[in-house]
Structure 1
Amino acid sequence: MHDGIDIDAFIGDGYLKIGGAFPRELADAGREILWRDTGADPEDRTTWKRPVVRLGGYAQEPFRAAANTPRLHSAYDALAGEGGWAPIGGLGTFPVRFPSPDEPGDDGWHIDASFPGDDPADFMDARVNVASKGRALLMLFLFSDVGEDDAPTRIRVGSHLDVPPILAPAGEGGVAFMDLAGRAVPATEHRPLALATGRAGDVYLCHPFLVHAAQPHRGTEPKFMAQPPLLPAGPVREDSPVAAAIRRGLAG
């Protein structure tokens, strides 16, 4: 344990849930901003026309404050190493998920890419390497209450340990997003499933190699969640739990 952070659980499972990582009041203030940008009316369900509305680029005060609570700073230090992560100026993409009978179209299993390929504009060529260049953590910030029917992110527990052997032969250049998904998804089908449920203000801190997926929303209220990376200050620190998990995966 490190300041209440279960390092062994993170290395073995690939994620930790930090309950009450930021105040609910910040989540409420953030949702007010996000609702305006969805083009939908929270009081008029007839305006909830699409299963997912993807918003991005949020650095207003509620988002900056949510990402920078003392509890989260301590957790970043514990998992990425003190001095091993870059300051966070805000939260990135919000895929706002609405209750809908329609498929969202973005719910495939995958690992988030961490650095661009030869063409920075080609998202499908974005890459991941065994050193986790460009990403110290995958983070899930809940800005609304998320139950089992509210499109919680699906997580394959321990799947991050299956990924380093896939990445290692590719060296520093890494593997492209789509190629990695095509190999890592079948390699992790045996892993147990967890759902990233929780209350507004909870945060999931995940290993960069964790295989995860969205899912359709079958509940009643929209789901607001940010999914920013924690950027490393340089190469991922060798003495961090993130690197320890990579070594465990390589060792089998």
Structure 2
Amino acid sequence: MSEVRGLEDFWARRTGRAPPGPLTMAERILLDARGLGLEQVLTYLRDWPDFATFAAWIAATAGPPDAERIARYHAWLAGDPVPEATRVRLAAIDAMPPVLDADEIAHWEAHGYVILRGAIGRGEAAAAAELLWRVAGADPGDPATWHGQRNNGIMVQHFCDPALDIARYSPRVHKAFAQLWGRSDLWSIVDRMSFSAPPAPGRPWQGPLLHWDVSLALPIPFATQGILYLTDTAADQGATQVVPGFHHRIEAWLKGLGDADPRAVDLSAEGVTIPAGAGDLVIWRQDLPHGASPNRAARPRLAQYVNMYPADLETNPEWR
């Protein structure tokens, strides 16, 4: 694992063997390029393994490193031009016909979210759904198993599997994000899955209500978030919920609150749920209030979080 530059330094910082400091963009890209989720890595490092043990865990968890992604990460780290394989791949993304048409882009600009229909095939979505059922320890035919001993609400902390990589590295998905960002030199985030079951006696719905995952200190930089539905998802089936168009008024709204906590304001009356089909990807702006809606249907909502970002992603150091 020594061929992946910065990995041992990351291990030293995150196990207290070196001053930790905030997560850097180099660390973010390192983990995504190596096919690892940030949360799963930080959770594993809580036990302070030695580096050899950590490296062995990475190999067992994420498999061998992807040569092109690691070469691209090393080139970025050194300030060198992207490798030829990456250049060719990104040029192919640029040359692709748009996957979001003019009406969909207009909807994005007006409402702050868009649905990429058929981001992956229905068979590919079904394969990821089968993985999620298995990881969640749930049986599709037995509702009694739908509320397992998970301690992250609707979040399922599983990150590494070829079935999940289909969407992460799909050219069609990449093209959609490239259209929204206005650039193709984006990195794919290795993120987790979501299993939102209908409430059961003694097991209330545990999903997050409308919220933001970004600092609300102004200015809020542009970025995206996304969720891929792995099964057909009705509006009452725990579908993603947003407040459409809120990005147009969030700055004035925040200034009007004064010292009040914006995260304590209930915006649920303005929330709109977004039904979509298996393999459809919902993408929204990070300054849009969003969350999973309560599941009032007869079946769980199964989903995978999918997103992309540029290496010069802006963040606000002040948290509000």
Alignment correspondent of 2:240: 153
Alignment correspondent of 1:99: 198
Q: In the aligned structure 1, how far is the partner of 2:143 from the partner of 2:168? A: 30
Alignment correspondent of 1:144: 231
- Cα contact 1:83–1:233 (8 A) shared by 2: no
Worse-superposed segment, 42-51 or 65-74: 42-51
Q: In the aligned structure 2, how far is the partner of 1:2 from the partner of 1:8? A: 14
Which of 132, 140, 145 is matched with 1:47 structurally?
Answer: 145
Other structure's SS at 2:207 match: coil
Cα drift, residue 189 of structure 1: 6.5
Q: How does 1:219-238 map to 2 (within 5 A)?
A: 219-235=297-313
AA aligned opposite 1:196: I
Which of 279, 289, 309 is matched with 1:201 structurally?
Answer: 279
Q: Judging changes above 3 Å, is the alpha-carbon distance between structure 1 residues 57 and 37 closer, same or farther for their aligned structure 2 residues?
A: closer
Other structure's SS at 2:283 match: strand
- Cα contact 1:129–1:168 (8 A) shared by 2: no
Alignment correspondent of 1:10: 108
Cα drift, residue 106 of structure 1: 3.3
AA aligned opposite 1:152: A
Q: Which runs of 5+ in 2 are unaligned?
A: 1-96, 315-320
Question: TM-score, normalised on structure 2?
Answer: 0.57
Cα drift, residue 195 of structure 1: 1.5
Worse-superposed segment, 140-149 or 160-169: 160-169
Worse-superposed segment, 3-12 or 146-155: 3-12
Cα drift, residue 206 of structure 1: 0.5
Q: Which runs of 5+ in 1 are unaligned?
A: 114-126, 170-177, 237-252
CA RMSD of aligned residues (A): 3.0
- Cα contact 1:59–1:89 (8 A) shared by 2: no
* Cα-to-partner distance string for 1:65-106 (whole Å, 9 max, x where unaligned): 1133222221111111214532x164x132201122443243
Query: Is residue 2:181 matched to residue 1:80?
Result: yes
AA aligned opposite 1:140: I
Worse-superposed segment, 71-80 or 60-69: 60-69
Q: In the aligned structure 2, how far is the partner of 1:207 from the partner of 1:218? A: 26
Cα drift, residue 32 of structure 1: 1.6
AA aligned opposite 1:163: I
- Cα contact 1:131–1:235 (8 A) shared by 2: no
Other structure's SS at 1:17 match: strand
Cα drift, residue 141 of structure 1: 0.8
Cα drift, residue 14 of structure 1: 0.4
AA aligned opposite 1:181: R
Which of 98, 112, 117 is matched with 1:19 structurally?
Answer: 117
* Cα-to-partner distance string for 1:175-223 (whole Å, 9 max, x where unaligned): xxx94423xx45x6774x4212111100011111111222221212211
Q: Judging changes above 3 Å, is the alpha-carbon distance between structure 1 residues 84 and 13 closer, same or farther for their aligned structure 2 residues?
A: farther
Q: Judging changes above 3 Å, is the alpha-carbon distance between structure 1 residues 164 and 64 closer, same or farther for their aligned structure 2 residues?
A: farther
AA aligned opposite 1:230: M
Flag the structure with more relative contact order, 1 or 2, with Cα contacts below 8 A and sequence separation at least 6.
1
